[in-house]
Structures are given as C-alpha cells and as structure tokens.
Amino acid sequence: MPLVNTAEIMNAARSANIGQGAFNVIHLESAEALIRGAELAQTPVILQISENCVAYHGGLEPVSLATLAAARNAAVPVAVHLDHAESEDLARAAVDLGFGSIMFDGAHLEYDDNVAATRRVAEYAHAAGVYVEAELGKVGGKDGAHAPGVRTDPVEAASFVGATGVDALAVAVGSSHAMLDRSAALDIELIGRIRAALDVPLVLHGSSGVSDENIVAAIEAGMTKINVSTHLNGFFTRAIRQYLEENPEVVDSRKYLARGREAMAAETARLLRLFAGRRP
C-alpha cells in the first residue's frame, strides 16, 4: 500500500462520519508500532511528527525519512503529517520532503498575524497538493485549556477558515495536551455548533486526556481527526518498565523496545477500531 495524501484519509473518514486516528511518532519504534496497530485494525492511520520531535532528533530529515519509508511499506493506507509547527520554514520543509499534510500552529500569535501566517503556509502547501491543518483557540497546558473563555468561537472559526483556506481546523473545546489521566470534560454542544458553522473537518488535540466515551460523543457531534500521543506513550513505557523489572540483566535494547512496540501497537488498534465505530 503506497504512502497516501492525508486528504484521502480525512475525506473518507468525514464521508463515513467516523473518527480518524492521528498518532505521534517519537522514534522509529513508535512509527512501526503505530503502523502495526493500523494493520491489526485494518484501518488507515495518520502518523504525526511534531516540532518537538524534530528538535529531539536534531532535524527534520532523520525521523521523517525513516517514518516515510516505514509508511511506504505498510499494508494499509498511511499518511505522514507535521504536527504543531510554529515555524513557517519548518512547515515548508515538510512540504518539500513529501509529507501528506502539515499543521501550522499560529495560535500563539495575535489573530490577524495568525491569519496572515497561516494563509502563507497554506498557499505554499496547496501548490504542492499538501493538506493543511491550523488551530484556533489555544489548546495548551491543563490549566490554560480549562480556564474560562479558552474556547474556539464558531463565528470566528468560520471567518478564520475563509481567510486562510485551510483544509481542517483544530479547535479548543476542553481538551489539553500531555494529560496523564483521562478526565478532560469536552464541550459537546460547542463541538456541534462549530461543526455546523464550518465545512472543513474538525480536529481534537489533547485526546489522551479524554475518555473513550467522550471521544465517541465528540465524533458523533462532528469531530473527525483525533490526535493521541501521551496515552500511547504510556503503554510503550509501561511495557518496557515491566520487561526491565522482569529481566534486570538485559542489555540488548531491541528486546525491551520490542515489548514497548507490541504494547503500543495493541492499543493503537483498539483506538482505531473505537474511532471507526467498531467497538468490541
């Protein structure tokens, strides 16, 4: 199955009124785990490489070329996406490298500056046939995202999409990045109002902090792309920790990384089935 453009996966999910999983790559083992999980679920997947991940690896190419190669060898449709790029240069570099989509995060900018920067990035990406996601309404740390007023306004969202030409919009509706528990309370009514105001798919960031039931409700209310990172990383890390506790003499890192990879793949498959409405 060749590497596919993100638009193909997103359009199919939206047409079917289901959720599409988009999961973050940290290193090659996580990319392999996410692809294996998608193969187990027989479901497409979007692999995300964040600006933080790029910084960790010392540049865009090392982790991206490995992820793109892994995606090309998958047995199911896989797209590769740049997540939370605050740098316009990084977004352009991902387009040039062959990513299927980019997310330009100008939420830290003033509204007019966000519009201008996002429009520039969108024009560059669209010229290469690359799908573009943006963010309106900051999805930040736990306190910030749950503070009063930190929500996306449907009218402003419609104006923003019209002014920038983006293909999908990440919105602030109560979730938060890097949560270690799944206690975030989503504003389902707001999701419905934003969905009614827009004709582009909505994206839920910070889904690691949201329960299965709330994610399903969000999808039913109009969410399409569901981003998960911390939750899956927890499965990877706990499996490695258990293996090392059981095998304190091991020195071959492949042995414990393989255990983490297996655990992440299993949970990836479960989430993809859940988002697609295929509950056990």
Q: Which residues are catalytic?
A: 83
- Provide the pairing of β-strand 78-85 with 202-204: unpaired
Q: Count Cα neighbours of 219 within 13 Å in the Cβ-side half-sphere.
A: 28
Q: Are 195 and 219 in contact (CB under 8 A)?
A: no
Rounded to whole angstroms, the Cα distance separating 232 from 94 reads 24
Please state the φ and ψ torsions of residue 164, each to the nearest 5 degrees. -105, -25
